[in-house]
């Protein structure tokens, strides 16, 4: 698709910033401080949720348990650990994003705590950005811990498993970290969409829509094929719309290449990250517009 997504995304971002300049230009002076303050409060609230703590403990136990598959040969054992570990980081990272981000704004509205926050010199878009930033901080910490545990398990295998294939392990460790970082980008893009939906929907509907977006975003190549094979103009338009609107989450997935010791294209990862940042900016701008127009 070349540089077309970047060009379209850049034009959209510039247009949205121009249209919404009355919202963010007057707040440049104190907006960062307000956003950061809300982010810190969001992190503190997420830390108190037992479901988040339980999921983190579960994932860490799963990653550690992978260290005991000694019946496999060293290469297959490494393959299984890398594949299972990266899958755990990706899947549980996305699940945490859904169950953290989906509660950010609807819960504030249901508890009416949002009124106390917005009664202070805090603009609505600062509130949205602060909530998103707080969610991404807590998810970054959790996914970093999971990645460190996975790398630790691989290091244990490297030092204590006889006849371990060092020629495979040493260059692949960097790829494992790279794949985990790309998984975080996927989580960040999905979280932005979740925040957008939460500005106009209830918690339950936000969770349901989040799972649908996750499913559709993970099948973008199939949707593209359906658009190409469409027999009618309506079908082609329908699938093309989904292809461009839904986040291309599969572009951030490098688990297959890494776990099978294949060549990993860092360039493709950088391009996917660039597209992800554009998606995040556009979606958060739209979310701020929707939340600013919401009657409360």
**Buried residues in 179-215 as b, exposed as e (16+ CB within 10 A):** bbbbbbbbbbbbbbbbbbbbbebebeebbebbeebbe
Q: Which of 67-81, 138-152, 191-205 has the lowest mean pLDDT?
A: 67-81
pTM of the model: 0.81
pLDDT band of residue 162 (cuts 50, 70, 90) is very low
Q: Residue 164 region, left (φ>0) first, then alpha (ψ -120 to 50), else beta?
A: beta
pLDDT tens-digit map of 83-124:
888 988 898 889 888 888 888 887 777 777 776 666 676 777
pLDDT tens-digit map of 209-225:
889 888 888 877 788 77
Q: Which of 27-31, 112-116, 272-276 has the lowest mean pLDDT?
A: 27-31
pLDDT band of residue 142 (cuts 50, 70, 90) is confident
Tell me the Cα Rg of the chain: 21
Give the rounded distance of the alpha carbon of 293 from its chain centre: 26
Q: Which of 66-80, 98-112, 170-184, 239-253 has the lowest mean pLDDT?
A: 66-80
Distance CA 106, CA 197 (A): 10
Distance CA 16, CA 41 (A): 28
Task: Please report, for the chain, the start and end positions of each structural domain, with discontinuous segments joined by +.
Answer: 26-293
């Amino acid at each position: 698709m070349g540089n077309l997504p970047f060009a379209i995304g850049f034009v959209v971002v510039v247009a949205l910033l121009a249209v919404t300049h009355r919202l963010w230009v007057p707040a440049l002076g104190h907006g960062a401080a307000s956003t950061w303050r809300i982010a810190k409060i969001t992190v503190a609230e997420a830390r108190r949720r037992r479901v988040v703590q339980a999921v983190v403990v579960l994932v860490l136990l799963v990653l550690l348990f992978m260290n005991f598959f000694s019946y496999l040969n060293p290469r297959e054992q490494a393959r299984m650990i890398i594949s299972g570990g990266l899958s755990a980081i990706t899947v549980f990272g996305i699940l945490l994003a859904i169950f953290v981000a989906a509660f950010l704004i609807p819960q504030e509205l249901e508890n009416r705590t949002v009124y106390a926050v917005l009664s202070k010199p805090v603009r609505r878009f600062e509130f949205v950005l602060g909530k998103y930033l707080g969610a991404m901080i807590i998810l970054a910490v959790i996914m970093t811990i999971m990645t460190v545990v996975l790398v630790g398990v691989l290091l244990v295998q490297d030092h204590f498993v006889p006849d371990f294939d060092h020629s495979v392990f040493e260059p692949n460790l960097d790829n494992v970290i790279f794949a985990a970082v790309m998984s975080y980008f996927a989580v960040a893009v999905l979280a932005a969409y979740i925040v957008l939906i939460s500005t106009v929907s209830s918690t339950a509907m936000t969770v349901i829509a989040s799972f649908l977006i996750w499913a559709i975003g993970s099948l973008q190549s199939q949707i593209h094929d359906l658009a190409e094979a469409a027999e009618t103009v309506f079908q082609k338009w329908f699938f093309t719309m989904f292809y461009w609107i839904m986040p291309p989450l599969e572009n951030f997935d490098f688990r297959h290449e890494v776990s099978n010791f294949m060549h990993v294209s860092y360039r493709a990862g950088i391009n996917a990250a660039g597209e992800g940042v554009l998606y995040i900016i556009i979606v958060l701008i739209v979310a701020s517009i929707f939340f600013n127009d919401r009657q409360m």
